[in-house]
Amino acid sequence: MKAGKKAVAQKLVYAAFEQLKTKGKEPLQTLELAITNVSPRMEVRPRRVGGASYQVPSEVRGDRKQSLAVRWILAAANNRSSKEYHGFEHKLAAELLDASQNLGEAIKKRDMVYRMAEANKAFAHFRW
């Protein structure tokens, strides 16, 4: 939802669900699977210790997992080519399909965040 336009957001999501139905997929199951696949387990958070900032890996809580997953799916759908997909509902449907199959930009974002957390595992002792 941008700028509080709830009705517009609802229409776009339902139109994306209709696109998924035409492709023979169950929309709600595809959405749940996509959110589950995109949800990050670990993330890095900056922690200031002794004048230096360290990227400290930490686990992601349930609510934040879902909000990050939805945010990443929407951002990935928005970044898709308008030439190939005419309208946001087509972009969203394609991104949900890709995310449910562990493909797409949102999955790449999740993997990038996880790789960053793995790379900074040495600073895990700064977590408190």
Residues of the chain with pLDDT under 50: none
For residue 62, the model assigns a pLDDT of 86
Give the per-residue pLDDT at 91: 94
In a domain, 100, yes or no: yes
Please spell the DSSP secondary structure of 63-128, one letter per residue: HHHHHHHHHHHHHHHHTS-TTTS-SHHHHHHHHHHHHHTT-SHHHHHHHHHHHHHHHTGGGGGG--
| pLDDT of 125 | 85
Q: In this structure, is residue 99 part of a structural domain?
A: yes
Give domain status of residue 116, yes or no: no
- pLDDT for residue 124: 85
| Residue 1 counted as domain residue | no
Residue 75 lies in a domain: yes
Residue 127 included in any domain: no
Q: pTM here?
A: 0.89
* Number of domain units in the chain: 1
72: Cα separation from own chain's centroid: 3
Q: What is the pLDDT of residue 128?
A: 63
At 7 the pLDDT is 94
pLDDT at 98: 94
Does residue 54 sit within a domain? Answer: no
CATH at residue 39: 1.10.455.10
Give the tens place of pLDDT for each residue, 71-104. 999 999 999 988 898 999 999 999 999 999 999 9
Structural domain span for residue 92: 6-44+59-111
